[in-house]
Structure 1
Amino acid sequence: MGVSKSDPIIIVGGGAFGLSTALHLTRDGFTNVAIYEKDDHIPPRFSAANDLNKIVRAEYEDPFYTDLTIKAIAAWKTPLFAPHFHQTGFLHCVSGNAPQKAVETLGRFRAAADGNAQLKPHVVPLKGDEDIREACWQLNGPLTGWNGYLNRFDGYAHSGNALKAVYRAAQASGVRFYLGERGAVDEIVYVSASKGRKSSGIRTKDGKFHPSSLVIVAAGGAVGRLVPELGTKVVAKSWSVAHVHLTDEETSMLRNIPVTYARDLGFLFEPDPETNLLKICPMGGGYINTDAQTGVSHMPGSLEESAFIPEHDEKQMRKLLAHTLPALKDRPLVRRSLCWFADTDDSDFIIDYLPETSDSVVVLSGDSGHGFKMFPIFGSWVRDFLGAGQQQITRWRWKQPKPAGEKGNWGGDVSWRIGESKELAEIRPGRSSKL
């Protein structure tokens, strides 16, 4: 028997998946929804979506996700989301020294864009530096050997501001928010049931019990601690993020530049006019934080442990700037951090009941570094799943985790990933990570 629209529902996590779910449930008539979030404000600092911007690009090697992103971009243009969506285009290239995997991946992405009737009219081939400068005159670096394409259908979203907007909308719709100490969830509470166990609610770290008919866990990179049954099916992973602080004049000059993505180097965005920050990220295999006893990677317990970037990533960022915007290549990099997310080995999301919990716990996870673009519509999938009573999309069902230690390069089999993942303890300056 499914949950009714008046039953109490607890959502653990106030990031993109949790907020989108709360919004769509209340729009569908659910009247008793609460979000518990351990940070004291939205967007939470622990959320991967607490960020200046995220890429919103529609072309995937898999047409399933292409079709979904096209729907998401239509939703990005609706009143609640439109102020935070910028359809600047996606300039997708490789440099002259790109490894073969990067070249092949670029080719598959371009073929996906060319093969889609809605995207194809927006795709412009770029066969060298002159073509690239024609597409974006602000890129005045050497661009040696660069080639690829520009997809004008794509762009980016200001993720932090989008989360704030949905937070306000959800509050106005009656969603209750418990933040900070009141919202820090320590455990899901279970009682015996005819078929195994059933959740009766949650217990927060202050020792208080909060009853509910359904617990929806949308805890991002921290999901493994609340749902250890995930094992190695979902692990916490991170990539580096840093920013360059520009002058007003530089920010104005770079307005409307497309998201510039060199598949072998990294990517950068149009600078934010409010802060004059230009965000830049390197490409690489990312970083994990494996518990030696369980073999599962967990997000570090404190923000301070992630407030740095490895030397290798800084070199990659500066190389990207040298190729594209050489006047910025020696500027200080500010607001450096590792951005943690929940990664699956196949890049598919998980939207399903936790097995043997009498349909009382739902897991929303596996954003895998590409989930935020779906923010406006993600919650509709959860609504549909609850209405159906089972996950009808096979790839989003619960999958049994592989034995710990079976995979060394976590997520490395995903076709668009380049590089080997490394342990946080190997690259953290001065000390090892605290699990």
Structure 2
Amino acid sequence: MGVSKSDAIVIVGGGAFGLSTALHLSRKGYTNISVFEKDDHIPPRFSAANDLNKIVRAEYEDPFYTDLTIKAIAAWKTPLFAPHFHQTGFLHCVSGAAPKKAAETLQRFRASAERNPQMKLHVVPLEGVEDIRQAAWQLTGQLPGWYGYFNRFDGYAHSGNALAAVYRAAQAEGVRFFLGEQGAVDEIVYVSALTGRKCAGIRTKNGRFHPSALTVVAAGAGVGRLVPQLGTQVVAKSWSVAHVHLTDEETSALRGIPVTYARDLGFFFEPDPKTNLLKLCPMGGGYINTDPKTGVSHAPDTLQESAFLPEDDEKQLRKLLAQTLPTLADRPLVKKSLCWFADTNDSDFIVDYLPNMSSSIIVLSGDSGHGFKMFPIVGSFVTDLLEAPDDKQSVVRWRWKESDPDAGKGDWGGDVSWRLGESKELSAIMPPKASKL
């Protein structure tokens, strides 16, 4: 098709993938870019990246993603992103009670880090409690049977602040933003074309039609409702998040602690100095919200439906704190919620044109809970696709994959090696008196 630099480009979604795309398109000289976001502010509350922090670790079993993350970390150190990146290191362990799958995954990740010439000098083996305390002296718990490694190359990013920074930068580049009722996309509009159909733009919930030469759908966990052609290529999946509210002194004492990750229990970060919140996440198979008519999991329509912490996850986080920071083990957990992602079975992204639409609509999705680390560069995946010969995605693993209509309901993403446990339905774990829409 070919999109000129002055053609109207619509981006659906003001989260990490949408903002990065807006920034990269504007830096490539595209001058007519509009971002549509249903929340009334950015960072949007519906975005998985509207959060205190996300892990930025480079070791993957697949060298493709290792190399890509190393490139992303270099971009995290550039002026726009550097204030939000904290290279505190990644303390990656299993406890003495870890299942075999967790221990084997840990060893594969360590081997990946030790193979890579840029990371291997940063990797320190941790054979027991004393080694771990050399890397993170604040861990005063007994750490029963813990072992693993420490990678100083890794760290975390303050995701909410990073989104806000890129939002401001994109506005300065001339990107237009439609928020709230004006930005809530009701449908993708298609029209007839010589070769079938094409996307003509979007219609927002206030009834207004916005034409476009190219539409990029970067709607996170909401992508399935806007692009039902995805079928089960992408499904909505969630994991729990909770926080402990610390005192000023407790926050200061934990300053500089590495991301502490027990693969069989969960992980936590350096506390945020502005809010004094210590963020914790349990490990597990995650939660889905399957539509019985289609077999596809969708994110709930309201934030209230996800504003809780499942009982089993709370027990797991209590165990994590008891083994690492025991003085906090019985403290109240606050700001509890489920965080929804766009998940794929193989954790590969989808960055491709919707088939048979005259290259008029691109789907950018499948963060699968690990995509935020790519925030500084993920928008370049779209500009690369726009410049690709024959409008073809050169990265085979990111191409459109047709769903099998006879596959039936599955444990979406359950076979991914670095996840433990099976997915559970949201309806099965919601608190009493809450209802599923």
Name the counterpart of 1:133.
Answer: 133
Secondary structure in 2 matching 1:112: helix
Kept in 1, the 8 Å contact 2:295–2:409? The answer is no
Per-residue displacement from partner, 1:2-52 (whole Å, max 9, x unpaired)? 111110000000000000000000000000000000000000000000000
Shift of 1:196: 1.4
Name the counterpart of 2:413.
Answer: 411
CA RMSD of aligned residues (A): 0.9
Name the counterpart of 1:401.
Answer: 403
Shift of 1:92: 0.1
Paired with 1:187 and 1:180, the residues of 2 have a C-alpha distance of 15
* Corresponding letter in the other structure for 2:273: P
Name the counterpart of 1:64.
Answer: 64
Secondary structure in 2 matching 1:376: coil
Paired with 1:192 and 1:403, the residues of 2 have a C-alpha distance of 26
Alignment map for 1:324-363 (pairs within 5 Å): 324-363=324-363
Name the counterpart of 1:241.
Answer: 241
Shift of 1:390: 1.9
Alignment map for 1:5-84 (pairs within 5 Å): 5-84=5-84
* Corresponding letter in the other structure for 1:430: P
Residue 392 in structure 1 maps to residue 394 in structure 2: yes
Kept in 2, the 8 Å contact 1:426–1:432? The answer is no
Shift of 1:405: 5.2
Shift of 1:402: 2.6
Q: Which residue of 424, 428, 431 corresponds with 2:430? A: 428
Paired with 1:160 and 1:120, the residues of 2 have a C-alpha distance of 30
Secondary structure in 2 matching 1:240: strand
Secondary structure in 1 matching 2:404: coil
Paired with 1:433 and 1:423, the residues of 2 have a C-alpha distance of 13
Kept in 1, the 8 Å contact 2:221–2:298? The answer is yes
Unaligned runs of at least 5 residues, structure 1? none
Paired with 1:344 and 1:433, the residues of 2 have a C-alpha distance of 27
Kept in 2, the 8 Å contact 1:11–1:18? The answer is yes
Kept in 2, the 8 Å contact 1:17–1:378? The answer is yes
* Corresponding letter in the other structure for 2:114: D
* Corresponding letter in the other structure for 1:397: R
Shift of 1:434: 3.6
* Shift in CA distance, 95/8, structure 1 to aligned 2, threshold 3 Å: same
Instruction: Identify which range, 194-203 or 256-265, moves more after superposition.
Output: 194-203
Paired with 2:394 and 2:412, the residues of 1 have a C-alpha distance of 27
Name the counterpart of 1:124.
Answer: 124
Name the counterpart of 2:159.
Answer: 159
Kept in 2, the 8 Å contact 1:233–1:402? The answer is no
Per-residue displacement from partner, 1:189-229 (whole Å, max 9, x unpaired)? 11101111011111000111111111100000000000000
Per-residue displacement from partner, 1:89-111 (whole Å, max 9, x unpaired)? 00000000000000000000000
Paired with 1:336 and 1:184, the residues of 2 have a C-alpha distance of 26
Name the counterpart of 1:304.
Answer: 304
Name the counterpart of 2:99.
Answer: 99
Residue 383 in structure 1 maps to residue 383 in structure 2: yes
* Shift in CA distance, 18/433, structure 1 to aligned 2, threshold 3 Å: farther
Shift of 1:432: 6.4
Kept in 2, the 8 Å contact 1:95–1:262? The answer is yes
Paired with 2:149 and 2:218, the residues of 1 have a C-alpha distance of 35
* Corresponding letter in the other structure for 2:282: P
Secondary structure in 2 matching 1:239: strand
Secondary structure in 2 matching 1:29: coil
* Corresponding letter in the other structure for 2:30: F
Paired with 1:344 and 1:403, the residues of 2 have a C-alpha distance of 16
* Corresponding letter in the other structure for 2:339: C
Unaligned runs of at least 5 residues, structure 2? none
Name the counterpart of 1:314.
Answer: 314
* Corresponding letter in the other structure for 2:310: P
Q: Tell me which stretches of 4 or more aligned residues in structure 1 moved more than 6 Å.
A: none
* Corresponding letter in the other structure for 2:125: P
Per-residue displacement from partner, 1:276-332 (whole Å, max 9, x unpaired)? 000000000000000000000000000000000100000000100001000000000
Name the counterpart of 2:172.
Answer: 172
| TM-score, length basis structure 2 | 0.98
Shift of 1:404: 6.0
Shift of 1:403: 2.6
| TM-score, length basis structure 1 | 0.99
Name the counterpart of 1:225.
Answer: 225
Kept in 1, the 8 Å contact 2:24–2:383? The answer is yes
* Shift in CA distance, 358/434, structure 1 to aligned 2, threshold 3 Å: farther
Paired with 2:311 and 2:68, the residues of 1 have a C-alpha distance of 37
Paired with 2:265 and 2:254, the residues of 1 have a C-alpha distance of 20
Q: What is the aligned residue count?
A: 435
Kept in 2, the 8 Å contact 1:343–1:411? The answer is yes
Secondary structure in 2 matching 1:150: strand
Identity of aligned residues (%): 78
Residue 254 in structure 1 maps to residue 254 in structure 2: yes
Paired with 1:134 and 1:195, the residues of 2 have a C-alpha distance of 64
Per-residue displacement from partner, 1:98-131 (whole Å, max 9, x unpaired)? 0000000000000000110110000000000110
Shift of 1:401: 1.3
* Corresponding letter in the other structure for 1:121: L
Name the counterpart of 2:278.
Answer: 278
Kept in 2, the 8 Å contact 1:424–1:432? The answer is no
* Corresponding letter in the other structure for 1:209: F
* Corresponding letter in the other structure for 2:89: G
Shift of 1:406: 3.1
Per-residue displacement from partner, 1:220-255 (whole Å, max 9, x unpaired)? 000000000001110000000000000000000000
Kept in 2, the 8 Å contact 1:89–1:259? The answer is yes
